[in-house]
Structure formats: structure tokens, C-alpha cells
């Protein structure tokens, strides 16, 4: 079998006495906090005699030869077609075939393979196949417009992209000339006319893979625990998107936190509503839950409150992982709609991505019969760091307590709002003091680099701490309370938006001289993007131009575009010439304008 296959130089799987799955954590929270160590947990991983470890093997293959082989790993729902399913054994074999197909395209160790796909079987197979081929999986948001897509393909030096015809034709094809690295585009829905010019049908690539696939000799790429496995682009306050790199042993953190914070175990029917382009879609939409041997339910349709309740009820979902925006949309549809349904199987409802209003926590009790549990983490942390774990008394408004193996601190702020570092040292604050939330490095899913940007990576650490960029306080019982962000990054419907990327796109409009964008509070999405625009001489600030700029942004940027435009011929600047978004935001919200010593009033 593949577990013991030897092929010239390729991985030799350790002949393990069969450990079908990573073992469950035991004991209550306090016991786990005291006894859990990452070093101890690493012993659970199936590292072979030569020190090789592969995330896809841990997530899928080790179940596929054990008692869970015929358990449904993923059940795909869609609005238009009947549900389809893949068992763990099928998922193993089909992702092997994808790996063979990708190798046939020359995919090499460490090379990024991108998807721009909705929640479809091809997406999951592309993720696992990439990892098995030794590549680095990199998701893109299907709702992105052409600019963010092309920018990320370029930054990732992406050679292989898996997408659908429409996304390709609209977002990638017109820019192919500026993507010299992009060699292979696999389209999942070639249609009757065949795959668009310059692309290959996914099915054809797979047929090549299947013809060359031999389950007896196939081997998973001989990756090491510290080899790159995942690349997630995230947004900073300045400059280009940051590519956070995660390594194969991150699966250990995905697994432990799926078990600990999401309460997943074999037999569960688990639904993660996260967009597949987001880090949550990878860590908790695919890898963590599979490593726990659950059945994942996934739905290709857009949000629809009635449909969501039907899925929770009819699929007998036991654990739901979602985001505050979705919960607010369910709340808006009224608790009566929830009460038309029954959720006897549901055990745990969990949220991530943005502040969870206390009302939503309490509303969970009315709608589902249980409070919503908040979790906090970031693209950079790769896995949940702070959580209202099951069984813990939830404090509505708090994100919970650090998961076992994670050490947090709150650090004193300097004048720029970030942690103050004096002679290389930070100030660790006491209970209930507000400052920057920091984590002690050492958890396996910590990002190991920002792609091609070592300076930015180094700047994320100080005095032995990872600096999160969030402001928080920790109460005397260790509960962490979110206060806000320490920077200008915008969170809309759970997704980060870099103001710089939005500003740069709007600057390309011929009427625009300068732009500053901020997050404006929104009852549903938490924040929406608002742009303050200075016009070039000769252009009038008319409602028609505002509408034109909204459409211009939408066309280029997709979901991250501004919803609102305000014209302002006197944007405040720092002395170094940057638009002061902090001040724009304070004015928008009617907040104190704070330290104005660095403001330059334009003449």
C-alpha cells in the first residue's frame, strides 16, 4: 500500500502500527491548560523515519485506511444539483490523482498553486492534491475583482491556477500578458464550447493524472514539518498584500483547535460557512475538520436565512462555525424563522472574524438553544488562539481564553497605537489594562514568513512576542476582550481589506488626485469601505461622479470596493505626506481627533 511504498528517493511512510487518527484531548480546560504542550502533541503526528510529514496525509490519508474509510468526508450541497459526497477513501484516491496531474504539469516542491473557486469538489481536491504534490496551496476570494486577483497571482509567482471559465475570462484573461509566470490555467467548467483559449479543462488534466496513477506506487511528497504548505494573502495598512506562509506541521494546531475550540470528533456533521478564499476556509473549512474525521457539509449557494435553517435541520448539523455578519443576517430574518425549524443534533455554534455583539451571543440561546461561542485568531496565527471553549461559562462580549499551548499578553502602547518598544523591550500590562494583544511564538501554525518580505515579518515581532495589531484587555480571569484594531485595516463582513490597495485602484481614475479610505460602521457588515476623494483640477464633485467612482471601484476590486464616496479637497496629511486615515475616521465617527501634532494642513 501507499503507506509503505518506496520509490526512488520519494517518501517512505513510517510503518506505523496503525494510528487511525490523532488522539482526542482529555480533561477539562484547566487540566489541558496545565498539561498540554506542543512538544508532547507533536508525537501524535505521523512523521516517517526520514522526518517527512505531509498535511494532506494527516488530514485525510490516515483516516482513509482506518475505520473511517467509508465515512463521508465531504457532502456537497448546491441550489441546482443533487447533493454529492466523497468518503475519506475516495477523497484520498481522488486527491492522489490530482497530485499526479499537478506533477505532470511540473508542479515542484514549494511552488504556489492557486484556486479562484466557489465551494465545489474541485476546490477541496485541488487543496489536497497540491499538498500531496509538495506544492503550496494559495486560495483567492471568488468575490475579488480582476485587480486583487492579478496582484496576488503576480506576488505568488503562480504558475498553476484552478478556476472557472467565467472568472478566468473576466478577471485573468485580459491581464495574462502581465502574468509571465502563469503557465497553466485549469478550468473546472469548460462548457460545450470547450475550455477558454489559453486554458485546459480540469477533467482533461485529471484524465492524464488518472492514466498515470497507480495506487500501489503513489507517494505523497516528502515534505518536512517546517516546509511551506499554505500561502494566504492578507491585508496590511500600507503597501502590497502580505503573503503569510504556513508550514506542514500547522496541521497539528488545526487539529488541536478543531477539537478543543470547535469540539469536533468523528461522527460530527460540521458546517463551516467561511468563504473558501479566507484563511478560515482552509484551516477550518478543510484541514482541521478532516483531521478530526468529521463529515463536512458544504453549500455552494449564497446566504439565504431559510435555506441555512433548512440545512442545519435536514443535514442534522452538530457544529456550526460562522461569522458575526451571517449571524446578524439571521437575526434580521427574525427568531420566528428559526423556531419553524428543529435542531436537535446541534451541539455547538461558533463564530470568528469580527467582534461578536453580546446580543448575537444571547440570540443564539433563543434561536438554537445555546449561546454563540466566539473565537479569535488571524491569518498569521493560522489557527484559533483565543476561544470560548465548549462548557466554559461564556462572557458575552469576550472572545474567550487562550487555547492550551498559547500564551497571550497585552503590551503597553506607544504614540502610534502599536506596542511601544524601548531598547528592544516591551511593557507587559496587568489585568484590564488596554494595549496591543501579543502572543508568545511557538505554536505550530504560526506564519513563518511574509512572502518575499523579511523586513515586514521581522517587524511583526518584538522582545519575544508576536504583535497582533489588535487592541485588547485581559480580565483577572484570563478572558480576552477585543477593543479595536491598532492600525487602519478594515474588516468588512469578516474579511480584511487593506486601505492602500483600495486607494491605489481608485487613484487610477482620471478624475482622482488623492484618496483616503476608512471603515465606516455598518449594522450588518460591521464596517463598509468609505473613500474620501480629492479631485483633480477641472473635475466637479457631482453625485454622478460619485456613482461613477463606486462603479469603477466595483469593477476593478470586486467585493473590497468602497460603498460610499465623499469628496474632500483638503484631506489631512502627516508631515511625511500620507493621508491621515485615523483623523478621517475620527471625524466620520465624531470621535476626539487625538494627537494632531503630526497633521499637515494643506495650503
CB of 356 to ligand 6R9, least distance (A): 6
Residues 6+ apart with CB under 8 A from 80: none
Output the smallest distance, CB 380 to ligand 6R9, in A.
7
d(CA 157, CA 209): 24
Please tell me what DSSP assigns to residue 518: E
Instruction: Output the smallest distance, CB 354 to ligand 6R9, in A.
Output: 5
Whole-number Å distance between alpha carbons of 76 and 108? 30
Q: Are 441 and 464 contacting, i.e. CB atoms less than 8 angstroms apart?
A: yes
Q: Residue written as cell 516517517?
A: 48
Closest separation in Å from C-beta 278 to ligand 6R9: 6
Least Å distance between CB 494 and ligand 6R9?
6
93 phi and psi angles, rounded to 5 deg: -65, -45
> Closer to ligand 6R9 at the Cβ: 89 or 517?
517
Position with the least CB separation from ligand 6R9: 379
Give the residue from 225, 255, 294 showing the smallest Cα distance to 383: 255
Contact 532, 568 (CB under 8 A): yes
Distance CA 342, CA 330 (A): 15
**54 vs 468 by CB, closer to ligand 6R9:** 468
Task: Say if CB 435 and CB 412 are below 8 A apart.
Answer: yes
Q: Minimum CB separation from ligand 6R9 for residue 283, in Å?
A: 8
Evaluate the CA torsion angle 146, 151, 157, 162 in order and state its sign: negative
CB 114 within 8 A of CB 156: yes
Alpha helices by DSSP H, listed for 271-370, are 279-282, 288-291, 305-314, 324-332, 335-339, 358-368
Give, rounded to a whole angstrom, the gap between the first and last alpha carbons of the chain: 75
How far is residue 258's CA from residue 246's CA, in Å, rounded to a whole number? 17
Cβ nearer to ligand 6R9, comparing 234 with 295: 234
Of residues 24, 22, 19, 66, the one with CA closest to residue 42 = 22
Nearest distance from C-beta of residue 590 to ligand 6R9, angstroms: 22
Pick the closer one to ligand 6R9 by CB: 356 or 571.
Answer: 356
Q: Give the H/E segment covering residue 519.
A: strand 512-522
**Minimal distance in Å, beta carbon 495 to ligand 6R9?**
6
The nearest distance, CB 175 to ligand 6R9, in angstroms, is: 25
Closest separation in Å from C-beta 400 to ligand 6R9: 8
Binding footprint of ligand 6R9 on the chain (CB under 6 A):
234, 279-280, 352-356, 374-379, 399, 468-470, 482, 485, 491, 496
Looking from the CA of 195 toward its CB, the CA atoms found within 13 Å total: 18
Distance CA 364, CA 343 (A): 12
Amino acid at each position: 500500500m501507499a503507506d509503505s511504498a518506496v520509490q526512488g528517493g520519494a517518501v517512505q511512510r513510517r510503518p506505523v502500527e496503525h494510528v487511525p487518527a490523532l488522539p482526542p484531548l482529555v480533561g477539562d480546560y484547566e487540566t489541558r491548560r496545565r498539561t498540554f504542550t506542543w512538544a508532547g502533541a507533536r508525537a501524535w503526528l505521523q512523521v516517517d523515519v526520514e522526518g517527512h510529514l505531509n498535511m494532506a496525509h494527516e488530514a485525510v490519508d490516515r483516516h482513509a485506511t482506518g475505520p473511517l474509510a467509508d465515512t463521508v468526508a465531504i457532502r456537497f450541497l448546491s441550489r441546482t444539483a443533487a447533493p454529492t459526497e466523497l468518503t475519506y477513501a475516495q477523497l484520498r484516491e481522488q486527491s492522489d490523482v490530482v497530485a499526479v496531474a499537478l506533477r505532470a504539469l511540473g508542479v515542484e516542491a514549494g511552488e504556489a498553486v492557486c484556486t479562484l473557486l466557489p465551494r465545489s469538489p474541485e476546490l477541496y481536491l485541488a487543496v489536497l492534491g497540491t499538498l500531496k504534490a509538495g506544492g503550496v496551496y494559495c486560495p483567492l476570494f471568488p468575490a475579488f475583482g480582476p485587480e486583487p486577483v492579478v496582484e496576488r497571482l503576480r506576488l505568488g509567482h503562480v504558475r498553476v491556477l484552478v478556476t472557472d471559465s467565467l472568472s478566468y475570462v473576466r478577471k485573468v484573461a485580459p491581464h495574462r500578458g502581465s502574468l509571465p509566470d502563469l503557465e497553466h490555467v485549469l478550468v473546472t467548467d469548460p462548457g460545450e464550447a470547450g475550455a477558454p483559449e489559453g486554458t485546459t479543462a480540469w477533467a482533461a488534466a485529471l484524465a492524464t493524472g488518472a492514466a498515470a496513477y497507480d495506487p500501489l506506487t503513489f507517494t505523497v511528497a516528502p515534505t518536512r514539518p517546517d516546509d511551506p504548505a499554505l500561502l494566504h494573502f492578507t491585508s496590511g495598512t500600507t503597501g502590497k498584500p502580505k503573503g503569510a506562509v504556513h508550514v506542514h506541521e500547522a496541521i497539528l494546531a488545526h487539529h488541536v483547535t478543531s477539537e478543543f475550540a470547535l469540539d469536533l470528533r468523528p461522527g460530527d456533521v460540521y458546517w463551516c460557512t467561511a468563504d473558501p478564499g479566507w484563511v478560515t476556509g482552509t484551516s477550518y473549512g478543510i484541514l482541521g475538520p478532516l483531521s478530526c474525521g468529521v463529515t463536512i457539509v458544504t453549500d455552494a449557494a449564497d446566504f439565504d436565512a431559510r435555506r441555512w435553517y433548512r440545512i442545519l435541520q435536514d443535514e442534522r448539523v452538530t457544529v456550526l462555525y460562522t461569522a458575526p455578519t451571517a449571524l446578524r443576517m439571521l437575526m434580521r430574518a427574525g427568531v420566528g424563522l428559526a423556531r419553524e425549524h428543529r435542531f436537535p443534533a446541534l451541539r455547538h455554534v461558533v463564530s470568528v472574524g469580527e467582534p461578536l455583539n453580546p446580543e448575537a451571543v444571547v440570540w443564539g440561546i433563543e434561536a438554537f438553544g445555546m449561546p454563540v461561542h466566539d473565537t479569535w485568531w488571524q491569518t498569521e496565527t493560522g489557527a484559533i488562539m483565543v476561544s470560548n471553549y465548549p462548557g466554559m461559562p461564556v462572557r458575552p462580549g469576550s472572545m474567550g481564553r487562550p487555547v492550551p499551548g498559547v500564551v497571550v499578553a497585552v503590551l503597553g502602547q506607544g504614540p502610534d497605537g502599536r506596542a511601544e518598544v524601548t531598547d528592544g523591550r516591551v511593557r507587559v500590562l496587568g489585568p484590564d489594562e488596554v494595549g496591543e494583544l501579543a502572543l508568545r511564538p511557538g505554536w505550530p501554525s504560526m506564519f513563518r514568513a511574509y512572502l518575499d518580505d523579511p523586513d515586514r515579518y521581522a517587524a511583526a515581532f518584538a522582545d519575544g512576542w508576536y504583535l497582533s495589531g489588535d487592541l485588547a484587555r485581559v480580565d483577572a480571569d484570563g478572558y480576552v476582550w477585543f477593543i479595536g484594531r491598532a492600525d487602519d485595516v478594515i474588516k468588512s463582513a469578516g474579511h480584511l481589506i487593506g486601505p492602500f490597495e483600495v486607494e491605489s485602484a481608485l487613484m487610477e481614475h482620471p478624475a482622482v488626485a488623492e484618496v483616503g479610505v476608512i471603515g465606516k460602521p455598518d449594522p450588518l457588515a460591521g464596517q463598509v469601505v468609505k473613500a474620501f476623494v480629492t479631485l483633480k483640477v477641472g473635475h466637479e464633485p457631482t453625485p454622478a461622479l460619485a456613482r461613477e467612482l463606486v462603479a469603477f471601484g466595483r469593477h476593478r476590486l470586486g467585493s473590497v470596493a468602497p460603498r460610499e464616496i465623499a469628496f474632500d479637497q483638503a484631506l489631512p496629511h502627516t508631515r511625511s505626506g500620507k493621508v491621515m486615515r485615523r483623523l478621517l475616521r475620527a471625524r466620520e465617527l465624531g470621535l476626539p481627533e487625538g494627537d494632531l501634532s503630526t497633521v499637515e494642513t494643506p495650503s
